[in-house]
Amino acid sequence: MRFPQKKSVRVLAIVLLCLAGIVTAKLAWNQANIRALRKYDARPPLNVVLQSSEQKKGYILEEFTFEGSPGESVPVMAVIPSDVGQPCPAIILLYGIGMEIEFDDRIAEAVTQAGFALFVPEQLNRGKRRRKELNPIEQAVTFHQRIMATIHDPRRLIDVIEKRPDIDSRRIYLWGASFGAMAGCSVMAYDPRLKAGVLTLCGG
* For the chain, domain boundaries: 1-39, 49-200
Distance CA 145, CA 188 (A): 19
In this structure, the number of other CB atoms found within 10 A of the CB of residue 69 comes to 15
pLDDT digits (tens, 9 = 90+) for 36-66: 556 778 889 999 999 999 999 999 999 999 9
Q: Are 87 and 167 in contact (CB under 8 A)?
A: yes
pLDDT of residue 9: 73
| Lowest-confidence segment of 7-21, 67-81, 113-127 by average pLDDT | 7-21
User: Residue 110's pLDDT band (boundaries 50, 70, 90)?
Assistant: very high
pLDDT of residue 24: 57
User: Residue 90's pLDDT band (boundaries 50, 70, 90)?
Assistant: very high
**Does the pLDDT value for residue 32 go beyond 90?**
no
If you compute the radius of gyration of the chain from its CA atoms, what whole number of angstroms results? 22
Distance CA 5, CA 107 (A): 68
CATH class of the domain whose range is 49-200 = alpha beta
Average pLDDT, the chain: 84
Q: Which has the higher per-residue pLDDT, 123 or 12? A: 123
pLDDT of residue 37: 58
pLDDT of residue 25: 46
- 167-171, long-range: CB within 8 Å, 24+ apart, which pairs? 167/80, 167/87, 167/88, 167/89, 167/90, 167/117, 168/86, 168/87, 168/88, 168/89, 168/90, 169/87, 169/193, 170/195, 171/89, 171/90, 171/195
pLDDT of residue 29: 42
In this structure, the number of other CB atoms found within 10 A of the CB of residue 204 comes to 7
Distance CA 115, CA 81 (A): 6
Helix (H, G, I), strand (E, B) or coil at 149: helix
pLDDT digits (tens, 9 = 90+) for 143-180: 788 899 999 999 999 999 999 999 999 999 999 999 99
